[in-house]
């Protein structure tokens, strides 16, 4: 089975600062990787996904992530945090068995 590890269950950044949320995966085959965002009392929404095309993936709201096979990582970044970025972020990996594996999530707080 695949697995996903998100380092840091809580991350706080100042408004305007760099956002870096970490995700490492284990996969025996080339994976498909996703970042989802969850705002309070809502379902998850896709931020971006890697599907073996470009290793640098750009998503919505200024977020991007880089797939690094040698490091088995797919970290999420945003150059400048905005108050509206405060949410829970989930990294996920899928395999050919149609199963999806989510990380435990990182709660992002943006300090004004």
Residues of this chain that bind other proteins (CB under 8 A): 1, 4, 9, 32, 34, 36, 41-46, 49, 51, 90, 92, 94-105
Shortest distance in whole angstroms from residue 104 CB to other proteins: 4
User: How many of the other CB atoms lie within 10 Å of CB of 85?
Assistant: 19
Q: Which of 95, 66, 82 is nearest to 16 (CA)?
A: 82
Nearer to other proteins, 22 or 32 (CB): 32
Shortest distance in whole angstroms from residue 14 CB to other proteins: 25
Shortest distance in whole angstroms from residue 65 CB to other proteins: 15
């Amino acid at each position: 089975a695949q697995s996903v590890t998100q380092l840091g269950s809580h991350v706080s950044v100042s408004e305007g600062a760099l956002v870096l949320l970490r995700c490492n995966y284990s996969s025996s085959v080339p994976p498909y990787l996703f970042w989802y965002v969850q705002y309070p009392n809502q379902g998850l929404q896709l931020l971006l996904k890697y599907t073996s095309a470009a290793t640098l993936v750009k998503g919505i709201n200024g977020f991007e992530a880089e797939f690094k096979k040698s490091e088995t990582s797919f970290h999420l970044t945003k150059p400048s945090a905005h108050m509206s970025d405060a949410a829970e972020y989930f990294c996920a990996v899928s395999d050919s068995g149609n199963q999806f594996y989510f990380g435990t999530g990182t709660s992002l707080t943006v300090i004004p």
